[in-house]
Amino acid sequence: MSLSKTTLGPFELFTIETGDFRLDGGAMFGVVPKTLWSRDLPADEKNRIPMTMRCLLIRSKNTGKLYLIDNGAGTKFNDKMEDIYQLDQSNKNLENSFKEHGFSFDDVTDVIFTHLHFDHCGGTSFYNNSDELELTFSNATYHVVDTHWKNANAPNAREKASFLPENITPIKESGKLNLVKENHEYEPGLSAVGVNGHTIGQQLPKVEVDSETLVFVADLLPTHVHVPIPWVMGYDMYPVQTLNEKDAFLKIAAQKNWNLYLEHDAHKEIIRIQYEDGRFSVSDSLTLSDL
């Protein structure tokens, strides 16, 4: 496993790979026919497409903080769940990624959650040798948008399966939960973009230094194949809102040549967007090391 990194102004950025998994292709593309999405993402015999859980580590030279954006599904899945999602952490995992970049889990001062679905926050805790839940990042403060925290603790029936108690409870009981408002600024140059179509209170961390911007797009844009505006996940709670959020976001991204960091794309790490003839498409594909 070879991981990328770069420096943008006062921020050092490091790719963190936490594992691969598979999700149902139909659910990932909603009403888009399989004949269209399968051209780019062929499904297996169970109609699942390849996905990854790519997180981001940010070290600030100004504050000395080490931010981790999301942390994957973790290791708490039983055999049945691992089989359903074809979870593979044999090579890509949190521990290996941290070691490759020369960090330990204790170095993390802040964990910024885009949202609390299981594939984004499961790595926060693990079962120790006594079969008790223990925090992975013992020195970290956990940042969640307040509206999302409320939603995660009282979810509707459709979203309930994504908010697992074994993931949420350790965060709640940590004593280190920090609820933030939408579009929160963590420090100059590191803020978040609020979106609510996929789930209420999702935040997309944004590093902005001079003319260079990188946005961790999480589940607003799961893969590069989701760039067309109507290509929205069946998992989204408010798909029409996602349509509007994607359209507004991608217009700015294309105009300003933003770097969009993809959390779930198994093949592309960062993309740039162009807008031609009324359509958005991928103009460039690169890694952190290319910036």
232: domain CATH number?
Answer: 3.60.15.10
CA separation for the pair 196, 107 (Å, rounded): 31
Instruction: List CB contacts of 73: < 8 A, sequence separation 6 or more.
Output: 18, 19, 21, 53, 85, 87, 118, 119, 122, 123
Structure confidence by residue, pLDDT tens digits, 207-252: 999 989 999 999 999 999 999 999 999 999 999 999 999 999 999 9
Cβ–Cβ contacts within 10 Å for residue 129, how many?
A: 6
72: containing domain = 5-290
CA separation for the pair 145, 182 (Å, rounded): 6
How far the first Cα of the chain sits from its last, in Å, is 20
CA separation for the pair 172, 14 (Å, rounded): 27
Confidence of residue 51 (pLDDT cuts 50, 70, 90): very high
Total domains in the fold of the chain: 1
* pLDDT for the residue 2: 81
Q: Is the whole-model pTM more than 0.85?
A: yes
Residue 127, token pair as written in the block: 């079962």
| Cα 237 to the center of its chain, rounded Å | 17
Alpha helices, DSSP H, located in 30-70: 34-37
Q: Which residue has the tokens 């079962």?
A: 127
* pLDDT for the residue 1: 67
| Mean per-residue pLDDT of the chain | 97
Confidence of residue 81 (pLDDT cuts 50, 70, 90): confident
